[in-house]
Structure 1
Amino acid sequence: MLSIYIDHNVFINYFESKFLKENHEDISVVIDKLIDIGYLFPYSPAHIEEIELFRVSGRGDSGCWFDQLSCLGEISNEKCPISANVYPKEGHFLFYDIKLCYKNITSPNNFSETMRMLPEEFHEDMNVADKVKSYQGVIRKIVAQLKEPVEMPCDLMEMKEGSIQSFIAMLLERKKIEESIDFLKSDGPSKRILKKFEKINPHEVFDNDSVLKFLRRMKEKEKISEFTTSNLDKDSEVFYDRQRNLTNLFRFLNSIGYSKEHNKLKAKNRLHDTSHALYATYADVFVTNDKKLKKQTQAIFSFLKYPTQVISQEEFIKNYG
């Protein structure tokens, strides 16, 4: 049966229609109809992380985040591409108790992975932070090095340890994107060429010789992490290798300004965008209400030859309603 992975913004529209009776009735009607005839709407740890960030943001009433978690479990039937210590395979979805997933996501089991991502200059600060279970100093140090403003959680003290480490990972991704942009400004394409990139059809972005030229240059200069395959357009079946490849390509597209969020205050958490796209590679359809994410994902999926269809919420309602 067809599997449809919905981005978090689409899930929130569904949730608001069902529980808050807000104006997204079409999406809830279509999803409920498809669930009734056996379609699968898997969730992923990326959804859980966004719900947790909502919990500590101070938005909404205190119990709304738990209602979101329960709703996500209901529409997904608690099926997920990945489970505890089990890596995903195409079209293979596992039962993963959503409350257990939440517990695992918010527990401090991400520390070693966060340390691996951190530049060496932060290691001492992070080790001290882990001992005293206070990460504000590390976060302030990273934020001070960023050029773009960051939307900070209302109260870091309210965040669970694993969530703080995920937030640090998001800040580090922002830092790497800024470093890539700085490199391209000094050793990259002119503004005139970058403007041309924005007009390329998503399915043809990586067919453009100039785009591939700058991708290879960034790879050679180690401004993006090493790809796991000798050919840039070859996918890896290993989950973490696939994750790294997707992260590199999203970072590259943001660096050259392709379908980038130009309003700095509205710039999304690119780490969650990448995560949703990663888990969507294991489904038949990926539905997103984010036009910029849709274009970037279409470009990358075409390049890596993923069969997943990427569509907007409007197209989803039209095609499946």
Structure 2
Amino acid sequence: MITNHLKSNEESIQSTVYLDYNVFINYRNHQDVREILHNKKTQYNYCYGPPYLEEVANIPSEKFEHIQSHKNDIDTLFEFHTFRPTDTNKLVKVQESAATVLKRVTESLDLSKKAEEHEKSQFSLFKSQCKELNFDPKKMSNIPFDEIFNHADVFLFVEELAINNPVFLQSLRKTLNSATKKNFTELQHSIAVLFNVLEIVGFRPEAAKKARSRMHDVSHAIYASQCDFFIVEDNKFREKCKAVYHFLKINTKVLSYNEFIENF
């Protein structure tokens, strides 16, 4: 088992990069992507989060070799760099093997499945709310990510949501304060709610069948907020993530794979 906080001078200098799971799958399937990402290790530290292993935990257990190859590739690419909440509710970078994280994820798998069912029901609610509130997805999706939360109708909706939900209002205020931004519970709640808001108002909306993958996308966004870069291939998710990070004053740069490879 490998578990310790990372403090080396080299790692403190290098920028950290969180790769979306789709980028990792491309890494597994394409030799050119493997070579490019490995070559960039001299400049960057790649990091992953527990949602990676939630994906692996859903692979049928009889596909042992497939599961093992996932774990091996995670350890090889990320060199055990991951994130974990501490007892004091801070999200910190640690060194843990994929097997260690998978064991912890598997122990809470029932909770994850309940969360997925809840997400599906919530997703249906988001769609109906979008219609009831007369948000036009085509119109809303054309608004730039750094303006969407300033749009009059969206701003009023967020304000009403905050008034009717004191916990959200308190959490949002604290998260916007950089001194408390690393409180994991507050960060997690605020990012998740803001993604929900974007779904309700029809900003780059997801298809209903993507409810499960959307839940994992939001989880990745939470952990990726601790890195310098978040590399995302899905256009809709990338724009929503930019909007949420911009609103919360999170400095993580959200880029496509090509943007990252060509410009950084």
| TM band (smaller chain) | 0.7 to 0.9
1:192-233 CA distance string (max 9 Å, x none): 4x43211101122112122111122233445x9624336497
Say which SS state the counterpart of residue 30 (structure 1) adopts: helix
| 2:176 match | 234
Q: Which residue of 1 aligns with 2:8?
A: none
Whether the aligned pair in 1 keeps the contact of 2:53 and 2:105 (CA below 8 Å) is yes
Match of 1:297 in 2: 241
Relative to structure 1, is the Cα distance of residues 225 and 87 closer, same or farther in structure 2, using a 3 angstrom cutoff?
A: closer
- C-alpha distance in structure 1 between counterparts of 2:193 and 2:141, whole Å: 19
1:27-47, CA deviations, whole angstroms, 9 ceiling, x for partnerless residues? 222210111x15211111011
Q: Which amino acid aligns with 2:150?
A: D
Does the C-alpha gap of structure 1 residues 44 and 166 become closer, same or farther in structure 2, counting only changes over 3 Å? Answer: same
Structure ID, larger Rg: 1
In structure 2, the partner of 1:176 is 122
Structure 1 residues 99 and 230, CA, compared in 2 at 3 Å: closer, same or farther? closer
Equivalent in the alignment of 1:106 = 106
In the TM superposition, what whole-angstrom CA distance separates every residue of 1:102-140 from its partner, at most 9, and x where no partner exists?
101101xxxxxxxxxxxxxxxxxxxxxxxxxxxxxxxxx
SS of the residue corresponding to residue 47 of structure 2 reads coil
1:234/1:182 CA distance change after superposition, 3 Å: same
Q: Which residue of 1 aligns with 2:50?
A: 45
8 A contact 2:16–2:44 mirrored in 1: yes
Q: Secondary structure at the match of 1:203?
A: coil
Change beyond 3 A, Cα 1:195–1:231 = farther
TM-score normalised by structure 2 residue count: 0.84
Mapped contact 2:242–2:254 kept (Cα < 8 A): yes
2:197 to 249, 252, 255: 252
CA contact (8 A) 1:178 1:255 kept: no
Aligned-residue CA RMSD (Å)? 2.5
In 1, distance between residues paired with 2:262 and 2:73?
24
Report deviation, 1:297.
0.1
User: Of Structure 1 and Structure 2, which has the larger fraction of its residues in strand?
Assistant: 2
Cα deviation, 1:72-91, whole Å, max 9, x if unaligned, reads: 011111111216747555xx
Partner of 2:254: 310
Superposed counterparts of 1:259-298, under 5 Å: 259-262=204-207, 264-266=208-210, 268-298=212-242
Amino acid paired to 1:100: T
Distance 1:181 1:219, change over 3 A: farther
CA distance in 1, matches of 2:54, 2:112: 8
State the one-letter code of the partner of 1:219: A
Answer whether contact 1:233 1:303 (CA < 8 A) is retained.
no
> 1:130-149, aligned counterparts within 5 Å?
none
Aligned to 1:6: 19
Amino acid at match of 1:14: Y
Aligned residue type for 2:203: Y
Which residues in structure 2 correspond to 1:149-228 (within 5 Å)?
162-186=108-132, 188=133, 190-192=134-136, 194-222=137-165, 226-228=168-170
Aligned to 2:40: 34
Query: Is this contact kept in 2: 1:228–1:245, CA < 8 A?
Result: no
| 8 A Cα contact 1:83 1:95, kept in partner | no
Q: Is the contact between residue 57 and residue 105 of structure 2 (CA under 8 Å) also seen in structure 1?
A: no
Give the match's secondary structure for 2:168. coil
Task: Give the 3-state SS of the residue equivalent to 1:202 in structure 2.
Answer: coil
The structure-2 alpha-carbon separation of the partners of 1:313 and 1:105, relative to structure 1 and needing over 3 Å to count, comes to same
Relative distance call for 1:305 and 1:83 in structure 2 (3 A) is closer
CA distance in 1, matches of 2:47, 2:88: 15
In 2, the alpha carbon distance for the partners of 1:208 and 1:279 equals: 27
Q: CA contact under 8 A between 2:175 and 2:187: conserved in structure 1?
A: no
Residues 173 and 271 in structure 1, CA contact (< 8 A), matched pair in contact too: yes
Residue 174 of structure 2 contacts residue 186 of structure 2 at CA under 8 Å; is this kept in 1?
no
Q: Which runs of 5+ in 2 are unaligned?
A: 1-13
Give the 3 Å change call, closer, same or farther, for CA 268–316 of structure 1 in structure 2.
Answer: farther
1:252 Cα offset (Å): 1.0
1:106 maps to a residue whose letter is T
